């Protein structure tokens, strides 16, 4: 039995359809309507920036030492996992000190039956603890990039 869901394909088709509709609407607009719409976008953009500045000021991010300590421990585990799974690993802190990151790189990343259970669980915990996780398919390797907020 095989089950397949093509969520990406469906979303891509919907995006293409929306782009086509927008393109048709733009083609039908007069220059005056285009100018008015552009002006409205500028006004909305300025409002978004103003709100963002208010929100940033209200939520001044304070670094929590326990989160930095947890990241340091995760970093040590990441090095062990990278060694066990034969991955390249890069660990870094941001220049502003608000977050850190772990990047695994390899031609392929395989978590197979032969991998010891503690390594699998540690790898999963490193990913689960991340604030954001991104997977990139670079030309020469795959990169699993995770960031961890310290606030």
The tens digit of pLDDT for each residue in 76-126 reads 999 999 999 999 999 999 888 889 999 999 999 999 999 999 999 999 999
* Cα separation, 103 vs 147, whole angstroms: 9
* Residues 71 and 134 occupy one common structural domain: yes
Residue where a domain terminates, one of 58, 73, 92: 58
Task: Report if residue 84 sits inside a domain.
Answer: yes
- Asked if residue 91 and residue 27 are part of one domain, the reply reads no
Residue 26 is part of which domain span?
A: 7-58
State pTM to two decimals: 0.66
Q: What's the structural domain count of the chain? A: 2
Residues 49 and 72 occupy one common structural domain: no
């Amino acid at each position: 039995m095989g089950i397949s869901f093509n969520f990406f394909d469906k979303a891509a088709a919907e995006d293409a359809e929306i782009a086509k509709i927008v393109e048709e609407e733009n083609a039908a607009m007069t220059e005056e309507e285009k100018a008015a719409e552009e002006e409205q976008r500028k006004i909305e953009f300025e409002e978004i920036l103003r709100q963002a500045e208010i929100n940033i000021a209200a939520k001044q991010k304070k670094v929590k030492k326990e989160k930095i300590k947890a990241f340091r421990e995760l970093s040590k585990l990441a090095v062990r996992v990278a060694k066990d799974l034969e991955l390249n690993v890069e660990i870094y802190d941001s220049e502003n000190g608000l977050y850190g990151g772990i990047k695994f790189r390899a031609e392929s990343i395989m978590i197979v039956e032969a991998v010891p259970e503690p390594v699998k669980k540690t790898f999963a915990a490193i990913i689960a603890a991340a604030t954001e996780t991104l997977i990139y398919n670079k030309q020469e390797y795959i990169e699993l990039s995770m960031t961890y907020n310290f606030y």
